[in-house]
Amino acid sequence: MKLTILGGGGFRVPLVYGALLGDHAEGRVSRVTLYDTDADRLTAVARVLADQAAGIDDAPPVRVTGDLDEALRGADFVFSAIRVGGLEGRAADERVALDEGVLGQETVGAGGIAYGLRTVPVATDIARRIARLAPDAWVINFTNPAGLVTEAMSRHLGDRVIGICDSPVGLGRRIARVLGADPEKAWIDYVGLNHLGWVRGLRVGGRDELPRLLADPALLGSFEEGRLFGPDWLRSLGAIPNEYLHYYYFNREAVRAYQDAEQTRGAFLRDQQEGFYARMKDPAAPPLATWDRTRAEREATYMSENRDVAGAGEREESDLESGGYEQVALALMRAIARDERTSLILDVRNRGTLAVLDADAVIEVPCLVDANGAHPVAVDPLPYHAVGLVTAVKGVERAVLEAAESGSRASAVRAFALHPLVDSVSVARRLVDGYTKVHPGLAYLDRP
């Protein structure tokens, strides 16, 4: 089984490789190809992987390449985890938005639209190449904004591209834990778009345990999302939202906190990661230990401004460990490659699951996975409030896809202007001007 990782010089690649090292079963990944546009980053990450593999006899061999087509040929699975424009681009996405008083987060609001506009053309080119060079490969998309990018790729790859995110898994696991349930046995009723979904129920032995959680303020205050949103708001909603909904429900406070912060998340990560990749050039630096220290710092500071706004305090020890991101990817690969049937929350085409969206709209939903791919499970409809947000954001995503396809600035303006977190068409126009000024990758928006 051959795995190719696009964005192979990326910081989270060792998480994936670590998961592969723990898999010794028949049909496991036997070779890993790392592709990246940056040779230094590839070398750095390859050093960490070599350190991870030390002393493990059956560690999958790793090869690196800067040739995309070569990386794709012969692949059974392709992980796509690219970052168009790098972390410098992410920091610029945030800055331009915050200067206009709107959110610049990489997946939500104006920042997510800018990042999407930059990423979709590149992801589309990759999807076309995969369709030509590795038509039987399964593609697992990690690239953010994950729902939008998966939908762009699905236009060329159909249901062979599956998007993943670790936040619904983490949320389900935390809720199960506070309810004293086994996360492996619980059924999580979760649906929406990527970074825009809600847990509406958690069934154990056929019984919905979520009402017990919603009725107990002490239990609600004992986990991340409970503290982030506050027990009162969760009881009013009657559901537990994905943590990214904090940017919607507490938008004003979140924007202010990010404006006041010393550095945006993107700028912090840019500096942090620059330091890591520079240190990896020193042959005396211990690769795995250096990487792990950097990873721990990244985890500890995740969404820290949102937690400050909510007075939610530090993250819990169990949330600082990795386990979501790479485990979902591995579970998905195993289910497909070995027909190990399982259920996972994934980003796939709707195919009638949510009646308010068309069949091709990529949604985030529990799926049954087997050798034939991921099959979305029937879910109850969303309440009107959630339908409003989901359909509005899907409309925005469609405008982004249109802009990326046609190069139309008007479509780009429409994407920003229609977003529920952008409050004026004039702001949207200025955002398009501001983003095209700072991002060479948006030069294609040259048609009226």
> Which positions lie near ligand G6P, rule CB under 6 A?
144, 165-167, 265, 269, 298, 302
Indicate the residue among 76 and 166 with the shorter CB distance to ligand G6P. Answer: 166
CB of 378 to ligand G6P, least distance (A): 25
Indicate the residue among 165 and 428 with the shorter CB distance to ligand G6P. Answer: 165
Among ligand G6P, Mn ion, none, partner that 265 touches (CB below 5 to 8 angstroms by kind): ligand G6P
CB of 254 to ligand G6P, least distance (A): 14
CB of 50 to Mn ion, least distance (A): 28
Among Mn ion, ligand G6P, none, partner that 28 touches (CB below 5 to 8 angstroms by kind): none
Residue 75 phi, psi (nearest 5): -75, 140
* Using rule CB under 5 A, residue 165 touches Mn ion: yes
The answer to whether 96 and 431 are in contact (CB under 8 A) is yes
The answer to whether 302 and 296 are in contact (CB under 8 A) is no
Instruction: Give the helix ranges, DSSP H, for 73-108.
Output: 86-99
Indicate the residue among 265 and 414 with the shorter CB distance to ligand G6P. Answer: 265
Provide long-range contacts, Cβ within 8 A and 24+ apart, for 318-321: 318/177, 319/170, 319/174, 319/224, 320/296
| Closest to 126 measured CA to CA, from 64, 72, 74 | 72
Q: Is 130 left (phi over 0), alpha (psi -120 to 50) or beta?
A: alpha
* Using rule CB under 5 A, residue 15 touches Mn ion: no
CB of 369 to ligand G6P, least distance (A): 19
Residue type, 233: W
The answer to whether 173 and 344 are in contact (CB under 8 A) is no
CB of 195 to Mn ion, least distance (A): 6
CB of 328 to ligand G6P, least distance (A): 10
By CB atoms closer than 10 A (0-12, 13-18, 19+), residue 57 is: exposed
**Beta-strand relationship, 240-241 and 362-370:** unpaired
CB of 99 to Mn ion, least distance (A): 25
Q: How far apart are CA 144 and CA 126, in angstroms?
A: 15
79 beta partners: 5, 140
Indicate the residue among 144 and 350 with the shorter CB distance to ligand G6P. Answer: 144
Among Mn ion, ligand G6P, none, partner that 310 touches (CB below 5 to 8 angstroms by kind): none
Mark the segment that binds Mn ion (CB under 5 A) among 18-26, 96-104, 158-166, 337-345: 158-166
How many chain residues interact with Mn ion (CB under 5 A)?
1
- Tell me how crowded residue 348 is: count the other CB atoms within 10 A of its CB: 25
DSSP character at residue 62: E
CB of 358 to ligand G6P, least distance (A): 25
CB of 414 to ligand G6P, least distance (A): 25
Mark the segment that binds Mn ion (CB under 5 A) among 31-39, 159-167, 310-318, 360-368: 159-167
Indicate the residue among 4 and 167 with the shorter CB distance to Mn ion. Answer: 167
The residue whose Cβ lies closest to Mn ion is 165
Task: Return the C-alpha torsion angle 252, 256, 257, 261, nearest 10.
Answer: 160
Indicate the residue among 143 and 353 with the shorter CB distance to Mn ion. Answer: 143
* Using rule CB under 5 A, residue 432 touches Mn ion: no
CA angle (374 as vertex; 371, 375 as ends), nearest 5: 115
Among ligand G6P, Mn ion, none, partner that 83 touches (CB below 5 to 8 angstroms by kind): none
Mark the segment that binds Mn ion (CB under 5 A) among 13-21, 157-165, 179-187, 279-287: 157-165
Indicate the residue among 166 and 209 with the shorter CB distance to ligand G6P. Answer: 166
The residue whose Cβ lies closest to ligand G6P is 167
Indicate the residue among 60 and 192 with the shorter CB distance to ligand G6P. Answer: 192
The answer to whether 124 and 117 are in contact (CB under 8 A) is no
The answer to whether 199 and 240 are in contact (CB under 8 A) is yes
Residues near Mn ion, by CB under 5 A = 165
